[in-house]
């Protein structure tokens, strides 16, 4: 599964997270009040205020970061973005490195030269690394949770929490989220140098996916996330493999200096949020460890560096941010005609037209009775109702409502509708679609043929999976896989965390090869796209950028691949069936993984009851009927896992049981 370096620059796909849950400029969001079952009129969520960064504020953030970098003797790239990913400033200090090396550290120790797999050891533009860090801080955060790239590192590794003493624990809750927001994604938008209404809409793509390298923070105004900052100066793009110690990280200190005056409320910082009893980590650096703040942009712009262009992201102009929730941001409140629930937000083209209006399936050539627009609406509305009632896992204060994005696709991977709650983390938009497409793809009768058709390092995974499951017909539609099922098979240990066992068949060939930059099928599907894109950035835009649409699986119809923004390998999606025939899938992302599972599974069930004729896979074909022989011990795959008592308006328990 090695990706050979045909150029001095390879791309790395970094880490991100979201979906686990718990020095300031303003307070946190309002405390939600438990209420009756959500109605079609909505009114249960308070949208975040329309806040944005001014040019002067962007200048201040850059000046503060540059001043700290100069004091520490670490010339760096400083990038500031708004909440939907527009690059507001890309500042290169004199002497900052042009390139950064993706970490070669992995489970089996540092990869010896020549034995790197995936993106391990790749040289990438330092500007790209800084952009991905900034987007990680912005995309993973909301008015209810503030996460950093250090937080991301904690939740994407092979054990949670990652540390030498935690070997044997299961993988991080957002294992694999680093390979989202990809530069080839057909959902995330590209920088438009020519301007116009579409120029500023988001979410924007990230050059290396989401980052786990410390040095990326969210930026807040009055308790509202308005952007992110990313710093790259040491030339090493990696992750923190030991959460139990305290790092002295200059890049993190520089980024923290940048956000002084724009920090999240203390109550929503990652360390106030717990996952399985473990507090998350926001920063290893305290504000008291910073030097005097430099607030004058004029004092650093010129004497210490300059604003520079980054191909595909910015022309080097410093600009003001776009307010999330406005038409110009590309994410806004829906109209009555677009979605019944008045709390729902949709993606827009910047001129008033929704990008993903609810519609019927496009797969009539292969599906006898595709999903209708009415059925798609029923599924999305019922899923949104479940979401509106659910207790959040990652948001503060306690007993906040869950916030997330819901995507519905047909068997071609075409989007049949996408809606979100007002303040769901932005990363969940792309991830919810990845999840839906993953569930639809692996349940499809053509899945094996599609992976074999991709060739290269991808095709062998089919036989690995069939051998592992002792099922020569695997991936021909004989079982329905939830995203949780695919995640079981994509971990470096099977069962998850049991280090004495072999790697899952969709992971790296051996557990010792695994790192967050080489996870197996997920990274192999998109490595070529990342390589092409990072070369485009390094060449200043003179070479071809990666096409819109990820992976090398064959097109199902001209211009449409089933996995056009990559796959995702943590829970939150299930396939949709009409009788015994696959007709699509629903994906959810933005909160705890059990919450995401519940909204997809229960929302589909309720939508099927309302519409009639559609619903979840029959229990006999769900992946939890698959039992894997592990050294004489039978290990059953999982399908979904719902929270035990999930709702704010009722004490009902085991709400998914028996469905």
Residue 29 has pLDDT above 80, yes or no: no
Enclosing H/E stretch for 93: strand 87-93
pTM: 0.94
Q: Which residues contact residue 65 at a Cβ distance below 8 angstroms, ignoring those fewer than 6 apart? A: 76, 78, 229, 231, 254, 255, 257, 258
Burial of 445 (0-12, 13-18, 19+ CB in 10 A): middle
Q: What pLDDT does residue 198 have?
A: 77
Q: What pLDDT does residue 516 have?
A: 96
CA–CA–CA angle 183, 569, 186 (5° rounding): 30
Instruction: Please give the C-alpha separations between residue 169 and each of 157, 162, 276, 490, 510, in angstroms, as whole numbers.
Output: 11, 9, 11, 16, 18
Query: DSSP string covering 170-225, please?
Result: PPPTTTTGGG-S-TT-SSSB---TT-STTTT-SPBP-BTBS--SS-EEEEEETTEE
Enclosing H/E stretch for 427: helix 427-443
Q: What pLDDT does residue 8 have?
A: 36
pLDDT tier at 39 (50, 70, 90 boundaries)? very low
Mean pLDDT, rounded, for 123-145: 98
Token pair recorded at residue 217: 């923070």
Token pair recorded at residue 625: 């009927």
Mean pLDDT, rounded, for 234-241: 96
Q: CB atoms < 10 A from the CB of 566, how many?
A: 28
Token pair recorded at residue 210: 């989401």
Q: What pLDDT does residue 43 have?
A: 86
Mean pLDDT, rounded, for 475-485: 98
Mean pLDDT, rounded, for 299-308: 98
**Ramachandran bin of 559, using left for φ above 0, alpha for ψ from -120 to 50, beta for the remaining angles:** left
Instruction: Please give the C-alpha separations between residue 591 and each of 384, 437, 616, in angstroms, as whole numbers.
Output: 13, 19, 22
Enclosing H/E stretch for 126: helix 126-139
Q: What pLDDT does residue 13 have?
A: 32
For residues 257, 261, 263 and 265, what is the CA-based torsion angle, rounded to 10 degrees?
A: 150
For residues 303, 309, 315 and 317, what is the CA-based torsion angle, rounded to 10 degrees?
A: -20
Mean pLDDT, rounded, for 372-391: 98
pLDDT tier at 41 (50, 70, 90 boundaries)? low
Residue 31 has pLDDT above 50, yes or no: no
Q: Convert the pLDDT of each residue in 45-60 to its tens digit.
A: 999 999 999 999 999 9
Mean pLDDT, rounded, for 485-502: 96
Name all domains of the chain by residue range, CATH numbers in brackets. Answer: 55-327 (3.30.450.150), 330-636 (3.30.450.150)
Nearest to 138 by CA among 246, 61, 242: 61
Distance CA 653, CA 468 (A): 35
Distance CA 86, CA 548 (A): 18
Mean pLDDT, rounded, for 284-310: 97
Q: Average pLDDT of the chain?
A: 93
Query: DSSP string covering 68-84, please?
Result: HHHHHT---EEEEEETT
Residue matched to tokens 């790395």 = 12
Q: What pLDDT does residue 6 have?
A: 32
Distance CA 10, CA 503 (A): 26
Enclosing H/E stretch for 534: helix 527-538
Enclosing H/E stretch for 408: strand 405-409
pLDDT tier at 199 (50, 70, 90 boundaries)? confident
Distance CA 533, CA 117 (A): 19
């Amino acid at each position: 599964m090695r990706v050979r370096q045909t150029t001095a620059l390879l791309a790395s796909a970094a880490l991100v997270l979201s979906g686990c849950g718990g020095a300031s400029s303003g307070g946190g969001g309002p405390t939600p009040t438990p209420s009756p079952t959500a109605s079609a009129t909505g009114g249960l969520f308070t949208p975040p205020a329309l806040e944005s960064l001014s040019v002067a504020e962007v200048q201040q953030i850059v000046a503060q970061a540059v001043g700290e970098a100069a004091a520490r003797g670490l010339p760096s790239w400083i990038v500031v973005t708004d909440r939907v990913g527009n690059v507001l400033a890309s500042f290169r200090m004199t002497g900052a490195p042009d390139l950064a090396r993706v970490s070669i550290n992995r489970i089996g120790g540092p990869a010896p030269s020549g034995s790197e797999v995936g993106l391990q050891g790749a040289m990438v533009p330092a500007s790209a690394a800084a952009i991905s860090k900034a987007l990680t801080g912005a995309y993973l955060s909301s008015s209810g949770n503030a996460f950093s790239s250090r937080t991301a590192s904690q939740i994407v590794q092979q054990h949670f929490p990652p540390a030498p003493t935690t070997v044997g624990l299961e993988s991080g809750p957002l294992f694999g989220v680093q390979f989202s927001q990809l530069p080839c994604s057909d959902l995330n938008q590209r920088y438009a140098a020519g301007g116009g209404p579409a120029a500023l809409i988001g979410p924007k793509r990230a050059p290396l996916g989401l980052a786990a390298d410390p040095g990326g923070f969210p930026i807040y105004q009055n308790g509202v996330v308005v952007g992110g900052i990313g710093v790259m100066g040491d030339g090493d793009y990696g992750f923190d493999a030991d959460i139990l110690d305290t790092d002295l990280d200059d890049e993190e200190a520089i980024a923290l200096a940048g956000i002084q005056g724009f920090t999240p409320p203390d109550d929503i910082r990652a360390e106030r949020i717990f996952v399985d009893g473990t507090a998350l980590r926001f920063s290893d650096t305290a504000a008291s460890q910073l030097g005097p703040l430099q607030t004058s942009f004029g004092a650093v712009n010129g004497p210490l560096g300059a604003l520079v262009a980054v191909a595909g992201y910015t022309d080097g102009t410093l600009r003001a941010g776009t307010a999330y929730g406005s038409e110009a941001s590309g994410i806004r409140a829906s109209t009555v005609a677009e979605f019944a629930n008045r709390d729902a937000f949709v993606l827009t083209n910047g001129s008033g037209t929704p990008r993903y209006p609810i519609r019927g399936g496009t797969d009539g050539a292969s599906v006898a009775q595709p999903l209708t627009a009415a059925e798609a609406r029923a599924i999305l509305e019922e899923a949104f109702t479940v979401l509106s009632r659910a207790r959040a896992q990652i948001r503060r204060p306690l007993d906040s409502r869950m916030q997330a994005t819901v995507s519905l696709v047909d068997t071609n991977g075409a989007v049949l509708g996408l809606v979100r709650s007002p303040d769901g983390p932005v990363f969940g938009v792309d991830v919810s679609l990845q999840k839906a497409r993953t569930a639809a793809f692996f349940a499809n009768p053509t899945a094996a043929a599609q992976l074999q058709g991709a060739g290269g390092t991808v095709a062998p995974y089919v036989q690995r999976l069939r051998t592992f499951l002792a099922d020569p017909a695997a991936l021909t539609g004989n079982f329905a896989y939830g995203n949780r099922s695919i995640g079981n098979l994509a971990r470096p240990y099977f069962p998850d965390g049991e280090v004495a066992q072999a790697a899952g068949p969709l992971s790296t060939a051996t557990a010792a090869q695994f790192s967050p930059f080489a996870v197996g099928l997920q990274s192999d599907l998109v490595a070529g796209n990342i390589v092409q894109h990072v070369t485009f950035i390094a060449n200043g835009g003179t070479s071809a950028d990666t096409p819109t649409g990820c992976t090398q699986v064959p097109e199902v119809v001209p211009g449409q691949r089933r996995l056009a923004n990559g796959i995702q390998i943590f829970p939150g999606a299930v396939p949709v069936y009409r009788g015994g025939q696959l007709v699509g899938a629903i994906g959810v992302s933005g909160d705890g993984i059990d919450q995401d599972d519940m909204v997809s599974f229960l929302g589909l069930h309720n939508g099927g009851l309302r519409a009639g004729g559609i619903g979840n896979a029959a229990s006999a074909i769900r992946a939890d009927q698959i039992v894997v022989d592990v050294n004489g011990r039978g290990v059953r795959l999982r399908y979904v896992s719902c929270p035990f008592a999930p709702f704010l308006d009722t004490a009902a328990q085991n709400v998914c049981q028996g469905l």
